Amino acid sequence: MFCKSIFVHIKSESIQMNILELHNVVKTYQKHTAVNDVSFNVPKGSIFGLLGPNGAGKTSLIRIITTITRADSGSVILDGEKLSSRHPSQIGYMPEERGLYKKMKVGEHLMYLAQLKDLSRKDAKREINYWFDRLQITDWWDKKIEELSKGMQQKIQFIATVVHQPKLLILDEPFSGLDPINTNLIKDEIAELNRQGTSIIFSTHRMEQVEQICEKIVLINQGQNVLEGDVHAIKQQFKEHLFQIDYNGELPKSLTVEDETNDSYRILERKDNQLIIKVEHDKASNELLNYLMQNGVYINGFKEILPSLNEIFIKQVEE
């Protein structure tokens, strides 16, 4: 529910449909190539997963997108324009390692960061108050940052990231250190922002979150784009034709023999009233179901087992 943007997702390479396009981006640091010829598109209004193991080049990529560093070659297009120093005010970036000035008061800190994103004093104040109301922290304005718990500081960091209404939001491990309640709170806010049209790049190691949240992903490993596309399509691409059958009744004899093999399917696992099978061709599942039903077995459930992103991730990285 969360990941499904209300915006109709049209697969198109046209510039207007992508909030961000990377074309053959390369970044080297001395002898080390951090980003090696990476290209991908982030569709407008989508939640996009930027995945990769530690040291894969995610942070280098994000720093290029946020104009902190520059690519050695290749191009980055933000909302149809070549990335330039004007763009930081259109991007909201929450780094994985994030801090605040401990001695400052919450209100003045947010005012400072908002004005650095080109908001006027008046607009900054209005936006901050809006977020204070939304997150129910209206009495925090005069609190010192150092008086806040880590979770509370995360909320402030979140506000600082979104206060200037960026077109593109880049969140690097946004839920690390948050308790489940605050995680849900921030998740809901991200969903709301996405509903309002904000495109979001979401970088994390937590694959179950990616599966929940993202529509599209790109997987970076050793500075290269190893996998890209729709979460659903990727899962289809990597599926191993496994099915799970839940049933009641007695299995026909031929299926209870351990070494039963068949041209059409292979039984991988037998549990109480459950079979895991691998089918060899498309029709095989139907054939098996027919066979079971004809032999008086009641089918309670039948579903395809798709690989988790976690499995795909590990498989790709280890290859």
Among 14, 16, 54, 85, binds another protein (CB under 8 A): 85
What sign has the CA pseudo-torsion 186, 83, 67, 25? positive
Among 45, 52, 88, 174, binds another protein (CB under 8 A): 88
- Could you say whether residue 32 binds another protein (CB under 8 A)? no
Among positions 130-169, residues that touch another protein (CB under 8 A) are 157, 160
Cβ-based nearer residue to another protein, 64 or 191? 64
- Could you say whether residue 39 binds another protein (CB under 8 A)? no
Q: Cβ atoms within 10 A of the Cβ of 312, count?
A: 22
Stretch that binds another protein, among 10-18, 42-50, 114-122, 258-266 (CB under 8 A): 114-122
Cβ-based nearer residue to another protein, 30 or 294? 30
Q: How far is residue 301 from each of residues 11, 235, 306, measured CA to CA in Å?
A: 34, 21, 16
Stretch that binds another protein, among 7-15, 93-101, 125-133, 182-190 (CB under 8 A): 93-101
- Could you say whether residue 45 binds another protein (CB under 8 A)? no
298-305 and 81-82: which strand pairing?
Answer: unpaired
Judge whether 102 and 150 are in contact, CB under 8 Å. no
Stretch that binds another protein, among 60-68, 130-138, 217-225, 269-277 (CB under 8 A): 60-68
Which of helix, strand or coil describes residue 47? Answer: strand
- Could you say whether residue 5 binds another protein (CB under 8 A)? no
Q: Which two tokens stand for residue 152?
A: 């509370």
Q: How far is residue 114 from each of residues 122, 123, 128, 134, measured CA to CA in Å?
A: 11, 9, 9, 17
- The DSSP symbol for 274 reads E
Among 15, 68, 268, 299, binds another protein (CB under 8 A): 68
Quick one: how many helices (H) and strands (E) in the chain?
A: 10, 14
Q: How far apart are CA 55 and CA 210, in angstroms?
A: 19
- Could you say whether residue 299 binds another protein (CB under 8 A)? no
Instruction: Provide, rounded to whole angstroms, the least separation between the CB of residue 97 and another protein.
Output: 4
Q: How far apart are CA 205 and CA 86, in angstroms?
A: 31
Among 34, 113, 218, 312, binds another protein (CB under 8 A): 113
Among 58, 98, 167, 216, binds another protein (CB under 8 A): 98
Stretch that binds another protein, among 44-52, 99-107, 136-144, 221-229 (CB under 8 A): 99-107
Cβ-based nearer residue to another protein, 115 or 183? 115
Instruction: Provide, rounded to whole angstroms, the least separation between the CB of residue 147 and another protein.
Output: 15
- Least Cα distance to 307 among 249, 255, 231 occurs for 231
Q: Which two tokens stand for residue 120?
A: 């006027």
Q: Which residues face 224 on adjacent strands?
A: 221
Q: Binding residues for another protein, how many (CB under 8 A)?
A: 30
- Could you say whether residue 82 binds another protein (CB under 8 A)? no
Give the angle subtended at the CA of 191 by the CAs of 189 and 197, to the nearest 5°.
Answer: 105
Residues that bind another protein (CB under 8 A): 29, 63, 66-70, 72, 85, 88-89, 91, 93-95, 97-104, 112-113, 115-117, 157, 160
